[in-house]
Amino acid sequence: MAGERSESKLLSGGNPQIAKGDGDTPVQAYIAAMPGWKSQVGRKLDALIQAAVPGVRKAVKWNSPFYGVEEKSWFLAVHCYAKYVKVAFFRGAALDPQPPVASKQKDVRYLHIHEDDPIDEAQFTDWVRQASQLPGEHM
């Protein structure tokens, strides 16, 4: 996987440029290309999502991993920024409790994970389970 990292270009803000594609393979390529500490966060999030939603669908779109439960319906995406990893819950305003960061889009809520931030695995898993049961975003 180290070869994948060297072949991947980082876009503005440090987000890996990964070709769009469906399935686990492009998502794993994205995670491997996440710079520095962010790759470990990506592996952790991916494992928690898979455990919370057996059979979760995966794809890379717009240089970000997307997770969903039915064809073309997505509940969550991950994106790298210079100082944090952003998890976007597309129907996050309906989650209880809501993820901490508001969006300009009324339904979307974010979780920002900075270096050395502990991940509350129980809360994250609960959000993922709740989000997977809501109507997804069609893209």
Number of structural domains found in the chain? 1
Please check the confidence at residue 5 and state whether its pLDDT lies above 70. no
Confidence of residue 139 (pLDDT cuts 50, 70, 90): confident
pLDDT of residue 127: 98
* Segment (H or E) for 109: strand 109-114
Please check the confidence at residue 2 and state whether its pLDDT lies above 60. no
Question: What residues make up the domain containing 42?
Answer: 2-138
Give the pair of three-digit tokens for residue 52: 């919370």
pLDDT of residue 16: 86
* Segment (H or E) for 61: strand 57-61
Q: What are phi and psi of 20, to 5 degrees?
A: -65, 150
Cis peptide before 54 (omega within 30 of 0): no
pLDDT of residue 137: 86
Confidence of residue 8 (pLDDT cuts 50, 70, 90): low
Q: What is the pTM of this model?
A: 0.90
pLDDT digits (tens, 9 = 90+) for 20-79: 999 999 999 999 999 999 999 999 999 999 999 999 999 999 999 999 997 778 999 999
Q: In terms of pLDDT, which residue wins out, 136 or 37?
A: 37
pLDDT of residue 4: 40
pLDDT of residue 71: 74
Q: Residue 114 sits in a domain of what CATH number?
A: 3.90.1150.200
Rounded CA-CA distance 131/9 in Å is 31
